[in-house]
Amino acid sequence: MLQDNVCSTNCRLFINEQIDLNIAITHTLNWQPLTGANAVDKSLIATIISELASNIIKYANPGYIELRSYEWPGTVEIEVLATDTGPGIDNVEQAMQENFSSSGTLGLGLSGVKRIADAFEIHSNLGHGTCVFARKNIKVDTKIQVLSSTKAFYSSTSERLVEFRNANSIKASPLINFEIGNRTRAYPGYRVSGDQVLAIPLEQGYLLSIVDATGHGPEANKMALLLLNGLKKIASSNLSNLMIKLDQLAKGTIGAAMGLAFFDPTKQMVTYAGIGNTNLIVFNDKKWRGVSRDGILGQRLPSYTEQSTHFNPGDMAIMFTDGLSESLIKKEALKLRFLDANTIAYRLVDLLGKTHDDASCIVIKWNK
């Protein structure tokens, strides 16, 4: 069955049987980045999902379909990555031929996916699985397009493809071992969330942010994206200065709670500053918790000092809003910590997300 109940701006869909394929297509057609796309383009994206998921079910179940969007006004670039740990493809060139099917079915197959996509790659290792990548650019109606902030995440589909292709050879930079996952779920009944997250790579490390805008729905979503778009322009490791500037940006608005964390691999430290109902827990030897000050950006900015703790290879940190049960998150996170960051984020929101609020979290792991 599908692990992810709601397909947010970043999707990781578990595929094992036909019902998973059906649910994946339904979620894709209702996926937020496709808001404003025409029926033909939605159908093309759904066809890519259908063909790649069908291959996983037929030959290599279980596996995953990952979706990620790169969005600009009027345009959305959709990346689809299908991965499995099945037997692999003995003859990739033959598998790419028109109408080829080792199972005797008449689907579009991999050649059909390549024909639909604007960019396509496939890599397969016998005994280790297959990775298929497809990218499709589509036009959307700017009047109803909902822009989301997804471009800054390290674990994008294209970078995962590089990871698969190069196996464990990527060791060039201390940043490369930072694995980041996220999950945002809207208040039930709304299509968009006032909770949003963002990860920005800087020269010295990674800046992570989580926002919980006042209220729910489109207005709260607009507020959260305003702050994150502003943060992209001024991103730095000086968290206090960032808070001051973001507070000025939020003046005259509904306001928001916000957490900022900077992860410095050279100093092996994480620094945190938070306002309102945002949280940071660092799973190091101390199980350290960053404390957010009472206040709200745009309305009441408290005085505070940045807080720091060490962050070493093997450690994990989770930023989350009060849409998740703080009393349970430590216990559940420890159970999940050996999974990948994106799966941890999805599981935490699915397990601990409150039904009367938006919910979100962002997970960073420093893999050894």
Q: Give per-residue pLDDT as tens, 213-222.
A: 999 999 999 9
At 35-72, the pLDDT tens digits run 788 888 888 999 999 999 998 888 887 888 888 877 66
Domain holding 107, by residue range, is 10-164
At 70-114, the pLDDT tens digits run 766 678 888 888 888 788 887 888 888 765 554 444 356 788 899
Q: Which residues contact 343 (CB under 8 A, 6 or more apart)?
A: 3, 12, 181, 336
pTM: 0.56
At 210-257, the pLDDT tens digits run 999 999 999 999 999 999 989 988 999 999 999 999 999 999 999 999
Same domain, 147 and 194: no
At 151-169, the pLDDT tens digits run 333 344 445 555 554 443 3
Same domain, 28 and 123: yes
3-state helix, strand, coil in the chain (%, to 5): 30, 30, 35
Whether the CB-CB separation of 202 and 178 falls below 8 Å is answered with: no
pLDDT at residue number 307: 94
Q: Which residue has the tokens 């201390």?
A: 174
Residue where one domain finishes, among candidates 144, 164, 184? 164
Same domain, 239 and 349: yes
139, part of any domain: yes
Whether the CB-CB separation of 232 and 280 falls below 8 Å is answered with: no
The sign one gets for the Cα dihedral 223, 224, 227, 233 is negative
Domain count across the chain: 2
Same domain, 19 and 156: yes
Helix H segments across 174-289? 217-234, 239-249
